[in-house]
Structure 1
Amino acid sequence: MAHPLQIRAEVLGITPVGAWRQVLLHAPGVASRVRPGHFAALAVGGSESSMLLRRAFWIHRADPAAETVSLVVAERGRGTRELLRTRVGAAVDLVAPLGTAFPQPAGPMTALFVGAGYGSAPLFPLAEQIAAQGGGVGFILGAGTADQLFGVDAARALTPDVLVTTNDGSAGIKGRVILPLAEAIKAIGAEAVYCCGPRAMLRAVTEVATAEGARCFCAVEEDMACGVGVCNTCVLPVVGEDGVSRFVRSCVDGPCFDGTRVRWDDIGTIPADLDGAAAMGVH
């Protein structure tokens, strides 16, 4: 689990990146604590706003020397709209880094990174780390349309093994990221697949990766209202290392999970065999 700070972070820039926005923050003390897969939570609207809940965003980059972090933001509603209209030089209330990061490889390995839309944002630091350790990396980056892709140029700067998919065929292969996944795993000999995106994609990637003999680690995009494990709005049924299924909080026990341990079919339900289900009145 991360060791977060709560600070007033200065907005250094808000830059369009296709359909998304990249927010650069001066966040002293935060960047050195960030690991791939961590996220940040921002208060929006100011101290007198009726928007009480923080908004969670993936940390795309962290630069300890410059004391900066960059977040990738999609304009979804009133909160993100107000955030993206923050003027440069203003301060925002930031809690970061949050969550449990991707497991760090102990040595050289070959990994495939699969991201949908801005879900690719947290994947790049880990891919760069694996490459720096002498490992091999590949990418499948997908989106609904070409402008919703994120990080294609950065991926191609790191490796020639980059596949792009779009649902409408406006860039790369027409279809979803799952379409070329099995062949891509075989082509680079991937030992592990790291992925981030919508729940249905994560489930499908886990199934294919497991069938191909690769480990699969998923960064889930659940709604995390508090980000610190208090509200329990982001729980998922997950099988523990002891074989017992429990509800765990995505914001502190995740958002990065072994995909084979998440009970994808049971999300949104209370499985009868879940630890504590009887106390909840489930039989």
Structure 2
Amino acid sequence: MKPLHVTGEVLASKKVGAYRHLTLVAPGIPERFRPGTFVALSVGGEAARSRLARRAFWIHRVKPVGGYGATLEIVVEPVGVGTGWLAALAPGARLEVTGPLGRAFALPQEKVGCLLVGEGYAAAPLFPLAERLRERDCPVTLVVAGDDEAHLLSALEARRSARSVTVVTRDGSVGQRGEVADVIDEVLTRSGAEVVYAAGPSRTLHAVAAAAERHGAWSQTAVERPLTCATGLCQGCPVPVVGEDGVARLVRGCVDGPVFRGDRVRWDDLEAQ
């Protein structure tokens, strides 16, 4: 289905650690959601639209709320002008929302063990994905990572979403100290997962895709690129891949992705951009 462009409304705003969770009323968009798709928001208000590009955000959760019908929740890390403006919005504020956009995660056709690896706010789409996988009776193992405790996304919820959870922080404030790359092989061995899903910085996705290949697992990675139009028109979000024909090419992160097979992304070229 084609994405919708609607005027949305902030229904609720809650600070959780380093992030701001916004619940949005965006008619028609939640009903079209699939895990791994995203929305683009116009930020900064009328005065700033000529200066600020739209921002893309993973859809973290879709849920019914009272008389509003289905709503969607996004996770904002306020690190710049645009995200700072969004994080400061109060309930009742209105904003332009386009979505859902992009290609979603593909779900396995059979009951197989699945490993989900998420770092920082980018772990957002993995939680609804875990729900869909459990509905298919797929055993789910989760790795949740962040710089520190404040940058772990929904660590408590993770324990309700999976049969096993590994928490990793760079400063060691919660869980194991280190990087996803330090634990991924051990978790893959222990879980016996045949399908691996990952969302996070490119270095983390690279490590997960490489580990999945070593273990004979199939990987899907949600690749984040800076977006301008989010609709594929501007060609401003290139992702270097190897096609099914073995030919290297550039594709668009917003419409050809954001989810790509881990073994198809040319990670060294992506990280060099």
- TM-score (normalised: structure 2): 0.94
Paired with 1:26 and 1:257, the residues of 2 have a C-alpha distance of 29
- Does the 8 Å contact 2:52/2:82 carry over to 1? no
* Contact 2:127 2:161 survives alignment (8 Å): no
Q: Select which of 203, 207, 219 maps to 1:204.
A: 207
Equivalent position SS for 2:125: helix
Contact 1:3–1:33 at 8 Å: present in 2 too? no
1:215-230 equivalent positions in 2, closer than 5 A: 215-230=218-233
SS at match of 2:182: coil
The residue type equivalent to 1:11 in the other structure is V
AA aligned to 1:62 is: V
Paired residues, what number?
269
Q: Which residue of 1 aligns with 2:112?
A: 109
| TM superposition shift of 1:3 | 2.2
Q: Return 5+ residue gaps in structure 2 as ranges.
A: none
| Aligned residue identity for 1:29 | G
| Residue type of the alignment partner of 1:186 | T
In the TM superposition, what whole-angstrom CA distance separates every residue of 1:204-256 from its partner, at most 9, and x where no partner exists? Answer: 11111110111111001111121111121210111122222211000000000
Distance in 1 (alpha carbons) for counterparts of 2:137 and 2:73 = 26
Whether 1:236 and 2:239 are equivalent positions in the alignment is yes
Per the TM alignment, residue 117 of structure 1 is displaced from its structure 2 partner at its CA by: 0.9
How far did residue 64 of structure 1 move?
6.2
The alpha-carbon deviation at position 119 of structure 1 amounts to 1.3
AA matched with 1:150? L
> Counterpart amino acid of 1:157?
R
Shift of residue 187, structure 1, vs aligned partner: 1.2
Aligned to 2:124: 121
Tell me the C-alpha RMSD between the 2 structures: 1.5
TM-score (norm 1): 0.91
Matched, 1:11 2:10: yes
Contact 2:13 2:21 in 1 (8 A): yes
| More displaced 10-residue stretch of structure 1: 151-160 or 218-227 | 151-160
Letter of the 1:37 counterpart: G
- Following superposition, the deviation at residue 268 of structure 1 comes to 6.8
Deviating beyond 4 angstroms after TM superposition, the runs of 4 or more aligned structure 1 residues are none
Residue 166 in structure 1 maps to residue 169 in structure 2: yes
Which of 120, 129, 140 is the aligned partner of 1:137? 140
Deviation at 1:107, TM superposition (A): 2.9
Contact (CA 8 Å) 2:139, 2:163: kept in 1 or not? no
Unaligned runs of 5+ in 1: 271-283
